[in-house]
Amino acid sequence: MNATPRKVLVTGIGATTPLAGDSAGTWEAMLAGRSGVRPLDREWAAELPVRIAATVAVEPADVLPRPLARRLDRSAQFALIAAREAWADAGFTGPAGEDNLVDPDRLGAVIASGIGGVTTLLDQYDVLRERGARRVSPHTVPMLMPNSPAANVGLEVGARAGVHTPVSACASGAEAIGYAVEMIRTGRAEVVIAGGTEAAIHPLPIAAFASMMAMSKNNDEPERASRPYDTARDGFVLGEGSGVVVLESAEHAERRGARAYCEVVGQGLSADSHHIAQPEPSGRGVAAAIQNLLDAGDLDVSQLVHVNAHATSTPQGDVAEIKALRKVLGDVVDGVAISATKSMTGHLLGGAGGIETVATVQALYHRTAPPTVNVDELDPEVDADIVRGEPRRLPSTGTLVALNNSFGFGGHNVVLALRTL
Amino acid sequence: MAATKEEIIEGLAEIVNEIAGIPAEEVTEEKSFTDDLDVDSLSMVEVVVAAEERFDVKIPDDDVKNLKTVGDAVSYITSHQG
């Protein structure tokens, strides 16, 4: 344990989500309890068991110039859009080195996705079969490689301290932010742009997740399909988009007079070592991650008021997470406002940790917990204070702590802790 | 029927516009693909494949490196088109 770890601040946020094309619009839609889940009216969806998804509210083709967009996988397009917003929000006006606000050698980029450039891979396979090898795009590999969003964001901002892509399925986005925090804490970088992205709304991933019995089949009521903690929940709804934050050492932020939203206090990590895709039902692994976070000694648990839960709307996972919180935090859980924003955004897989960290930053900054929609009948096994229907005000004074949980197939558990300034 | 020099320049301009976003009127014979038209080595492969299809010509990989300017490509296509 480092006795005097460098303090890490969030100085910029950006997002493109099923709710809006930016972070402010996404937050506004969350407070209004809107759902981003829609019918998939594409021809290829007609024969699938699942015909709903949380597609982005603003198509990237409407935002990015065509020559740029055509050489980026959709996941990198989302990441670039979110990164540009976060970068500008942090007060930077151009790539590192050009506006003299940050040294490129002290700037990092850590952007993750769970699945990588799956649509590029599958589309180019179609090209290969239908039109031959000569027509396969020379951009295929740089587009489909999982580190492509990180590399493209790194190129955009001029990051030279390191560009990284931790991959841990649906925990990837949160793991990326945790990795970025460590880059700053250990002195490798002063500023790191970090987050998660995903673009996997394609017949193959949908068919594959559906085969695992992991997805909601509530095709008739798309807006009601993602319903964490409700007794009628029947699986997650696939979403797409990206959420990105700019993290910065407190010294660096102060030196350039940057506005900061909150602090990232630390992270807790663990692995279930239980099953490749099933959550450990008692919540043992998640509890270990929370315990590791507390053991690091950086936060005061009495200040914990909010959790942006992983809660994907699967029967097992939602309950295991609550059990884990209860196991480690005991009665503290009674005073914690728990929100499952996936009820509105769907599950962005590797993008989830990104947009949910952005939502957690906004919750602390505005001292408001976003609602969980579609909880008509709370599962009696969910022994916690779920923010249902309407947003809830958090204490208007004092230091507040919030957690953002993300877990992934493979048994990866990531808990990020944020604190008001 | 073989394309005229003007038709080839016009066709290449459309291709470069589609791939690199450079306005078609800026795609003239003396321009270098890499230095003037924002066509890197990967995008050059796209330009070549699109040109092959459009002008019914085969441009082997070994010959691509000799196509530095739009004029080089025009000459190559003029003398090789079917």
Spatial neighbors of A395 by CB under 8 A, at least 6 apart, are A305, A367
d(CA A308, CA A180): 20
**C-alpha pair distances (Å), B64 with each of A173, A225, B51, B59, B68:** 41, 53, 12, 7, 8
For residue A321, the number of C-alpha atoms closer than 13 Å in the C-beta half-sphere is 30
Sign of CA dihedral B69, B70, B74, B80: positive
Among positive and negative, which fits the CA dihedral A401, A420, A181, A159?
Answer: positive
State the alpha helices, DSSP H only, in A259-375.
284-295, 315-329, 342-345, 352-366
Q: Write out the two tokens for A393.
A: 């005000």
Question: Given pLDDT bands bounded at 50, 70 and 90, which one contains residue B35?
Answer: very high
The string of pLDDT tens digits covering residues A372-408 is 999 999 999 999 999 999 999 999 999 999 999 999 9
Please provide the average confidence, as pLDDT, over all residues in chain A: 97
Chain B hits for A68, Cβ within 8 Å:
21
How much is the pLDDT for B58? 94
Q: What is the mean pLDDT of the segment spanning A52-74?
A: 96
Please give the single-letter amino acid code of residue B52.
E
| Confidence (pLDDT) at A4 | 62
Residue A401 near residue A332, CB atoms below 8 Å: no
pLDDT for B1 beyond 80: no
Nearest CA in chain A to B43: A138
> What is the rounded CA–CA span in Å between residue A281 and residue A274?
9
For the question of residue A170 being annotated catalytic, the response is yes
Q: How far is A197 from chain B (nearest CA, A)?
A: 25
Domains defined for chain A, CATH in brackets: 8-255 (3.40.47.10), 266-419 (3.40.47.10)
Give the mean model confidence (pLDDT) for residues A162-182: 98
Domains of chain B: 5-80 (1.10.1200.10)
Q: What percent of chain A has pLDDT over 70?
A: 99
> Does the structure show a pLDDT above 90 at A99?
no
Determine which of A71, A72, A145 to mutate to test the interface with B (most B C-beta atoms within 10 Å): A71
Q: How many CB pairs under 8 A join A and B?
A: 23
CA distance A124 to A393: 48
Contact between A16 and A241 (Cβ < 8 Å): yes
B15 touches chain A (CB under 8 A): no
- Res A1 pLDDT > 50: no
CB A36 within 8 A of CB A346: yes
ipTM: 0.89
Check pLDDT > 60 for residue A186.
Answer: yes
- Band (B57; pLDDT cuts 50, 70, 90): very high
Mutate to test the interface with B, among A64, A139, A140, A144 (most CBs of B within 10 A): A139
Q: What six digits make up the tokens of A369?
A: 């917990």
The active-site residue out of A110, A170, A311, A387 is A170
pLDDT tens per residue, range A229-280: 999 999 999 999 999 999 999 999 999 999 999 999 999 999 999 999 999 9
Written as one letter, the residue type at A259 is R
State the Cα torsion A294-A289-A226-A235 to the nearest 10°: -160
B64 interfacial to chain A (CB closer than 8 Å): no
Q: State the Cα angle at A140 between A138 and A144, rounded to 5°.
A: 155
- The confidence score (pLDDT) of residue A2 equals 46
Residue B49: CB atoms within 10 Å: 17
Contact B43 A137 (CB under 8 A): no
Instruction: Give the CA distances from residue A245 to residues A24, A195, A294, A340, in Å, rounded to whole numbers and listed in that order.
Output: 13, 6, 23, 20
Cβ-nearest to B21 among A65, A135, A142: A65
CB-based contacts of B8, cutoff 8 Å, min separation 6: B55, B73, B74, B77, B78
CB A146 within 8 A of CB A104: no
Q: Is the separation of the CB atoms in A365 and A261 below 8 Å?
A: yes
